[in-house]
Amino acid sequence: MREEIIIPNLGLTMDEAKIAEWLKEEGELVEAGEPVMAIETDKTTMEVESPAKGYLHIIGRAGETHAVTGVVGWVAGSREDYEAGLAEGEEDGGGLNQGHFSTDPMPVEAKSPEALDRPGAKEAGGRRRISPFAWKLATKHGLDIEAVEGSGPKGRIVKRDVLAAIEGEAKLRVSPLARMASEEYHIDLHAVEGSGPHGRIMRDDVLNAMPKGSGIAGELKRLSERRPITGMRRVIFDHMHRSLQQSAQLSFFMEADAEELMRARRILLEAFKAEETNISYNAMLLKILSHALRAYPILNASVTGDEISLWDSVNIGVAMDVDEGLVVPVIRDVDTKGLLAIQGEMDVLIDKARSRRLLPDDMKGGTFTLTSLGHLDIAGFTPILNEPEVGILGVGKIMEKSVACAGNLKAGWRIMLSLTVDHRIVDGAVAARFLRHVKVCLEQPYRLLG
């Protein structure tokens, strides 16, 4: 018996996801409920668990995008069933698709082995023919399909072709650094003479094979490693670039007196001791921001095409640092909730973020964003908009410093506020008034009780 592995539906706003990576190898024995794959949406990366105990067969490859409920692999309950499934796939070119073996298990745009253009054996329409098993084997060994000749029907590349090519590659003795250099500088290793033990090709051999005058052999810096931009880093990479490309970002800075904010927090901690709730500065800032956003609704807005969408809901995203990068889960309807409720929701989202259990819906629907780096001793910074929102507030560390008061210096606690807005939508004077409103509420938090 074989159980399908599908792209799960993780929320109302999700219709597809990309396979970020497979956490287990082809043919590996996995347990029911064990993470086998990581997928990424436009907001987050999630792990997908095995539906049963058995041997894993991978259909969808890392980097491919599949629709929700699309089949990307299966788990066979026994080794015999696994081998039988591979044999069937080798014969008919398929994998599981909605519970049945099919000759077309993946959407056309995801079928890289069927879409490689090259002279030679091709289907009508110019697409390369290769069996799924041969493709898996070639990918596992890092084999370039372009260099493999097909011996199957109509020139189709099959298992024996890939095995023969792998055996040929194995005869070529190459150090890892030499192979990396050959790929970077596009040097054919078969044309390089090795100077290492038993003729092994070393990195210097590849560099010496560079055309004269290329300047590569005399490098001024040494490479430590190369990291592909994938997974959550790819999401952040694209999102930050798009944000800066599509908006006119302008930042404002204002220092505030944090004495009363600190005092109010001490009072709240004592008042809520029985509830065992640790009211954070972020929870208090969220409440302050909701008050300011109601007073200046143009900052509680988004750019949608050629229109400004002003939102009735005050949904504030809170930037959180996790191992893989940055996520921004959203607290909804902040203006209608008390501090206990806000802190409770934030605690749940923090736990989900740390355990990689955030759903796409947890990070949708934001109308403004709060980001704080005070816990990392950062005094102030320039935050980047979380597009399509038009405003984001950055908060630095609460610091003790000398403050001028009536001609004298005294010690005081200060905090830096950094507001970035989309200047196409928010005028400078409006942004300044909004930030001053936040400052007044922060310095006099009891005003929120009125």
CATH (domain of 53): 2.40.50.100
Residue 247 and residue 197 in one domain: no
Do 177 and 243 fall into the same domain?
Answer: no
**pLDDT number for residue 97:** 38
Nearest to 112 by CA among 96, 128, 124, 88: 128
Report how far residue 46's alpha carbon sits from residue 40's, in angstroms, rounded to the nearest whole number.
6
> What residues in the chain have per-residue pLDDT under 50?
92-126
CA–CA separation, 392 and 177 (whole Å): 44
Tell me how far apart the alpha carbons of residues 450 and 244 are, in angstroms, rounded to a whole number: 39
Residues 284 and 176 in one domain: no
Other Cβ atoms less than 10 A from the Cβ of 67: the count is 13
Inside any domain, residue 80: yes
Residue 21 falls inside a structural domain? yes
The domain spanning residue 424 has which CATH number? 3.30.559.10
What's the pLDDT at 307? 92
Q: How far is CA 66 from CA 8, 70, 238, in A?
A: 10, 6, 19
The whole-number pLDDT of residue 208 equals: 84
Domain boundary among 110, 127, 162: 110
The whole domain housing 188 covers: 172-208
Domain total of the chain: 3
Same domain, 266 and 340: yes
| Amino acid 101: pLDDT | 31
3-state SS of the chain is: CEEEEECCCCCCCCCEEEEEEECCCCCCEECCCCEEEEEECCCCEEEEECCCCEEEEECCCCCCEEECCCEEEEEECCHHHHHHHHHHHHHHCCEEECCEEECCCCCHHHCHHHCCCCCCCECCCCCECECHHHHHHHHHCCCCHHHCCCCCHHHCECHHHHHHHHHHHHCCCECHHHHHHHHHHCCCHHHCCCCCHHHCECHHHHHHCCCCCCCCCCCCCCCCCCCCCCHHHHHHHHHHHHHHHHCCEEEEEEEEECHHHHHHHHHHHHHCHHHCCCCCHHHHHHHHHHHHHHHCHHHCEEEECCEEEECCCCCEEECEEECCEEECCEECCHHHCCHHHHHHHHHHHHHHHHCCCCCHHHHCCCCEEEEECHHHCCCCCCCCCCCCECEEEEECCCEEEEEEECCEEEEEEEEEEEEEEECCCCCHHHHHHHHHHHHHHHHCHHHHHC
Query: Beta-carbon neighbour count of residue 93 at 10 Å?
Result: 21
Residue 331 is assigned to a structural domain of this protein: yes
- Give a yes or no: residue 439 inside a domain: yes
Residue 125 lies in a domain: no
Do 28 and 80 fall within a single domain? yes
Inside any domain, residue 332: yes
Q: Is residue 276 part of a domain?
A: yes
Judge whether 126 and 170 are in contact, CB under 8 Å: no
**Domain membership flag for residue 134:** no
Q: What positions carry a catalytic annotation?
A: 423, 427
192 and 267 part of one domain: no
